[in-house]
Homo-oligomer: A and B are copies of this chain.
Amino acid sequence: MDRENLDQELKLLHERICPALNHPLRMKILYLLNEKSLNVGELTAEMGVPQSSVSRHLRVLRERGLVRAERQGTTIWYVLVEPELTTAIEILRRILSRQLGNHLYQAQTILGILPEEA
C-alpha cells in the first residue's frame, strides 16, 4: 500500500470508526449493547444523562453502521452490529490498566494527571 492509499484509509478510519471510541458515553453504549440489545429508554436509564444526549450519541454510531435501530411500535431497539468494537476497547483498557499499575501514585492521588515523561 503506497502512501496515498494509507493516508486515505486512515482518513476513513478517523471519520467512520474512531468517533465510536472517542467519547465515554459512546463507549458505555457499546459496552451495554454488547451485553444485550436495549431500547433508548433503557439506555437512558443506565447512563444517567438526558435522553437527547443518548439519542445524539446513538446517531453517531448508527450513521456509521456500528449499531442498528430496530423499530417495534414506538420503541426502538438498538443492536450492536460490530461487537469487535468492544474487543478494541478491551485492548485500550488493558493499556490503561498497565499504566495505572506503573503509575500507581498518580492513579490513586490525582486521577487527572498524566504519566511523567521519560
Q: Which residues of A contact B (CB under 8 A)?
A: 1, 3, 5-19, 21-24, 27-28, 31, 46, 48, 62-66, 68-70, 82, 84-85, 87-89, 91-96, 98-100, 102-103, 110-118
9 contacts between A and B (CB under 8 A): A5-B114, A6-B31, A9-B110, A9-B118, A10-B28, A17-B95, A64-B114, A82-B95, A87-B91
Q: A10-B24, A18-B21, A18-B22 are in contact. List 4 more A-B contacts (CB 8 A).
A: A15-B112, A21-B92, A22-B22, A69-B117
CB distance from A86 to the nearest CB of B (A): 10
Partner of A12 from B6, B16, B48, B118 at Cβ < 8 Å: B118
